[in-house]
Each structure stands twice: as C-alpha cells, then as structure tokens.
Amino acid sequence: MDMHHPAEPLLRLRGVDKVYASGTVALRGLDLDIGERQFISLLGPSGCGKSTALRLIAGLGRHSGGSIDWPGRGFVPGDLGFVFQEPTLMPWASVWDNVFLPLRLRDRPRAQVAAEVDAALDLVGLSGFAKAFPRELSGGMRMRVSIARALVMKPRLLLMDEPFAALDEITRQKLCDDLLGIWRKAGCTVVFVTHSVYESVYLSARIVVMAARPGRIIGEMAVEEPYPRDRSFRLSPAYAEYCRQVSGLLDQAMGG
C-alpha cells in the first residue's frame, strides 16, 4: 500500500439502516469497508439481512439511513455483477446468447462483442458449450453460465447470494474451487452471502457474521490462509480450527 495515498476501499457502508414498509427493521447501523479484489463472505442465520445488504449494495432498493459509497473512482454502470441462488438462464437461448444478454441489453452489436462473450465462457471453463442449451447442462454448469453472464461486463464487484445452496455437496465443493480460480483470473471483489460456515471459511479472506432482529454485524474473522487454496486446505487442522471459531460466532449470532 502506498503510505502517502492509502488505498480507498472499493465500497464503504456507514450506518446503513433498512426499514421495510412493513416496519421490519432488516438492517440497523451497518458499517463495512470492502476492499479491491477482496473475497468477503456475509454469514448469518436466516432473516439477518444478508440479502437485503446485498440488494442495497446493488442499488436494488433504497436504504432508509446511512450511506453507501464507492469512494475510489465512483460507481460506473457495469461495475456490478449479480449471481442468484437460481441460475435464472433463458431456457430458449443458447449458453452463448445467455452470456451475451447483459451486452445486448446495452445495445452492443453481437459481432463487436463476440470476443468478450467467448472470453467470459473461457473464464468459467465452458468454451466447448457455447451452442448448448441450459437444459443440456448439469446444475453446476448452469451456475457457471450464470457466473459468466455476471462477469461478461468485467465488473469490479461480484455479488453472490447463496449461489450454491441448491446444489449437492460434491458439486458445491467443485464450484468453490472453480469460483476461486475464476475470481483470481477476473481480479474483481466478491461479496458472497452464505449460510455455510464451511463454504465461507474455504472461500473467503474475511468473514462478516451477522445476527437478526435487527440485522447487524456481530463479529468478523480473517482467514489468513493464502490463495490459491485447494483440497489440502479443506483437510487441514487450520481449516477445522477456523470452522470451529466461525461456528462459535454463528452460535452467538443465534443467541447461543
């Protein structure tokens, strides 16, 4: 870090509140700095406001109080990619056309951006499936198409809302490895919402634990294992110890 110009975070949340029209206080006083190229997980029990926080960061809905800023060079359209629990692909369109969608919505001509679509497919390891249709793919492959679509605009921030929750354990582990590779190559920041202690420890450099009613941050942990990470980390005593500590924080979040 340059000591004369300490790096600004990519995103800064200060005292963010969200009260829904129903009166539910989904978030109260959220303070969070998210750095460039960080991999950060938001972990917490159901209803603690993880998805709300992600949606506010994405600009889907207004916060009721506090501020959300992009302090560096500010927010530029295309800076954000979003991946949901369901891949939400268009079943009638090929893999290539699904990934092309964000560019098409911005009126970018097919021929002009073909290389960008190809590069996004290459990034997620699906170059050979450009002409396939979603129904021909496994659940894990469909999720990778969804990730390629989120990354085709080369966003600086990738928001992921429990992307692997609907998949079986083996596919989940494989996708975690894939995601770490994709993240390293894409060079973006990832904010990953999950219920899973194991997933958060494996993936993140930083885990923010939230509690409900009102949704708030109750603790944070750094996972100081260097990247790249692989199976050997998952099997290591250090991994088990991180999981134990994060589970302890989660117990606190659930009032235990």
**Which of 99, 139, 156 lies closest to 122, judged by CA?**
99
| Three-state secondary structure of 81-105 | EEECCCCCCCCCCCHHHHHHHHHHC
Q: Which residue, 20 or 92, has its beta carbon nearer to ligand ATP?
A: 20
Q: Which is nearer to ligand ATP, 22 or 232 (CB)?
A: 22
**By CB under 6 A, residue 112 contacts ligand ATP:** no
Return the beta strands (E) in 70-215 as ranges: 80-83, 157-161, 189-194, 206-211
Q: Which is nearer to ligand ATP, 126 or 193 (CB)?
A: 193
Q: Does 181 bind ligand ATP (CB under 6 A)?
A: no
Residue 16 touching ligand ATP (CB under 6 A): no
Closer CB to ligand ATP, 186 or 211, in the complex: 211
Compute the least distance from the CB of residue 215 to ligand ATP, in Å. Answer: 6
Q: To the nearest whole angstrom, how small is the minimum distance from the Cβ of residue 66 to ligand ATP?
A: 16
- Nearest approach in angstroms of CB 29 to ligand ATP is 15
CA distance 203 to 176: 7
For residues 88 and 146, is the Cβ–Cβ distance under 8 A? yes
What's the min distance (Å) between Cβ of 194 and ligand ATP? 9
CB-neighbour burial class of residue 119 (10 A; exposed 0-12, middle 13-18, buried 19+): middle
Q: Which stretch binds ligand ATP (CB under 6 A): 9-17, 40-48, 112-120, 179-187?
A: 40-48
Q: Is 85 in the site for ligand ATP (CB under 6 A)?
A: no
Q: Does 200 bind ligand ATP (CB under 6 A)?
A: no
Question: What's the DSSP call for residue 52?
Answer: H
Interacting positions 18-37 with ligand ATP (CB under 6 A): 20, 22, 24, 26
The residues, ordered by sequence, that sit 6+ positions from 85 with a Cβ below 8 Å of its Cβ are 161, 162, 163, 165, 166
Question: Which CB sits closer to ligand ATP, 21 or 105?
Answer: 21
Q: d(Cα 78, Cα 101) in Å, to the nearest integer? A: 13
Q: Which residues make up the interface to ligand ATP (CB under 6 A)?
A: 20, 22, 24, 26, 44, 46-52, 215
